[in-house]
Chain A
């Protein structure tokens, strides 16, 4: 049987990986694990150590803190990076809203991955800056 390169196409279409060559995206698609989550399933668990970086390939998810919905996430969004970078357990649950497909990079692999692909790190910084600006605007 011959596989489809559908996951490479999907990842190549996301802003996070937009600066990578096709070969690099293929390498990235083998470095991440693909995972489906059923409706209502927890993807990220508040307070639980050893988590990962998640990128949504299909579907939507909700951010819950202490059971309260705080935000929504959709295709191309990533989460879990703060917990991985700081080495602390996540401060929120992320729960699948409908069926969600993610690319998952294990926490211990994130540093090597970002240093190997600095353009992805730059894109991630941009997204973090946007989130910070949004949070500051919301506060003011």
Chain B
């Protein structure tokens, strides 16, 4: 992949992106499509980021369906293929299913890596590989990035470095416990008692892989497991891919999934002793195990960014970001890829965005490219002008099939503005929070949402004379919105904005 003469020698660039995982690749190709010059640096030797190694047991939890109700390569198809990056050129879309062997809708790690490499090749994403980011400081008109190849300066720096650093909570004795990334081949756990710290996807991924081998598996963490089948959210802590060990627990098959804080861990010769205290059910429990694994997640490698005053949350693991993924405390520093989860959004009914996975952050990165082009570089990008009669059908079509809205529920919205002169402009895909909290002309933003009963519906946010009102349109059992009744309801909501006779 590396070019004979590496691109982007040290020097000054308008934007520097650090990282060549899916986040860095998506942002780079989206900036290039908008003619915004930038450099991409990566410590790796090839594209792919975390998918060059993870998930550990080699299959993703997010679907890519070769066959779907809509045509492959269309924009709507992106909802059925959560793992391929986005391209304006149809020839570069729907890449991943090309490489899948038909045994599952969940691609293997190798298939995912291959699709990212192919995307980088076909989209001609240029990256300076083998260039390690080592430090950052404020410089003239922006920032100075220190790297293994020399110094780069830029107005805007985007860190798409993944949440890639193994992380453990502060528990006495945990330092000696192997992290998820250090899990041994499964045969090493044959007939052993395995204690897994954690009850999120990586913990259940381990439990699922070790299930045919281990004598007993105990999963424990303070918070109850949140299963996507119950919460109807893809951002739940456990996806359907890994529910077999949980079912085993529910049926009393031997696996345990306990809500308990881990007080301390001891090494007693060949065995481990784990002391716990129940959280949802009080009481102390002590476990002897032959192996303990900390499936406690990852943190963001922030390095010297902290010295610039970066504010973080989630036990100091994630930078706190604006709706457009800029640090709330260090303007000019943006975060891409999975770290874009630092822009939390509204979390309506408790549902998180999918910004922590490719399915969500690929859309974020395209919105970020558009935002940077317009605001930081004043690029004159065209916007579609709509006639009054086009507005309702356009919004209904968007809520019915726009992948941005379905992947990023109550997080990304399609927005349309209405100027004082009556000119109706498609404002594109925007963070819903930005639309709600920014002043602006009259307009409407429309989303896909899931409420507390698990019902999928559309949120309609109408801004009229500076006041935003919210209404919801239920989808019905067939998940369709484009019915005469929906159109009539939406038109009714838009009456203050549109001239009469617009339906």
Contacts and interface: CB of A to CB of B under 8 A. Distances in A.
Nearest to B166: A1
Contact of A1 (B168, B351, B437, B469): B168
Interface string B233-266: 0000000000000000000000000011101000
A72 interface: no
Given A21-B282, A45-B346, 20 more contacts: A1-B168, A2-B169, A4-B170, A27-B223, A29-B222, A36-B311, A42-B436, A45-B436, A48-B346, A48-B470, A49-B451, A49-B472, A50-B346, A50-B348, A99-B311, A106-B351, A107-B349, A107-B452, A108-B452, A109-B350
Contacts of A49: 348, 451, 470, 472
Interface in A110-137: 116
A30 B222 contact: yes
B223 A31 contact: yes
Contact of B222 (A26, A109, A116): A26
28 contacts: A2-B168, A2-B175, A4-B170, A4-B316, A21-B282, A22-B261, A22-B277, A24-B279, A24-B282, A26-B222, A26-B279, A27-B259, A27-B279, A28-B279, A34-B313, A35-B313, A36-B320, A45-B346, A47-B470, A49-B348, A49-B451, A50-B410, A51-B348, A101-B313, A107-B350, A107-B452, A108-B349, A108-B452
Interface in B135-194: 165-170, 174-175
Contacts of A108: 349-350, 452
B73 interface: no
A116 B436 contact: no
A33 interface: yes
Dominant secondary structure of chain A at its interface with chain B = mixed
Nearest to A36: B320
Nearest to A29: B222
A5 B172 CA distance: 12
Contacts of A109: 350
Contact of A104 (B170, B223, B316, B347): B347
Interface in A74-96: 89
Contacts of B279: 23-24, 26-28
Nearest to A7: B315
Nearest to B199: A30
A30 to B, nearest CB: 4
Nearest to B263: A23
Nearest to A5: B170
Contacts of B166: 1
Interface in A1-28: 1-5, 7, 21-24, 26-28
A26 B315 contact: no
Interface residues of B, number: 48
Interface of B: 165-170, 174-175, 221-224, 259-261, 263, 277-280, 282, 299, 311, 313-317, 320, 322, 328, 344, 346-351, 410, 436-437, 449, 451-452, 468-470, 472
A106 B349 contact: yes
Contacts of B347: 33, 52, 104, 106
Contacts of A33: 314, 344, 347
Contacts of B282: 21, 23-24
B321 to A, nearest CB: 10
Nearest to A39: B328
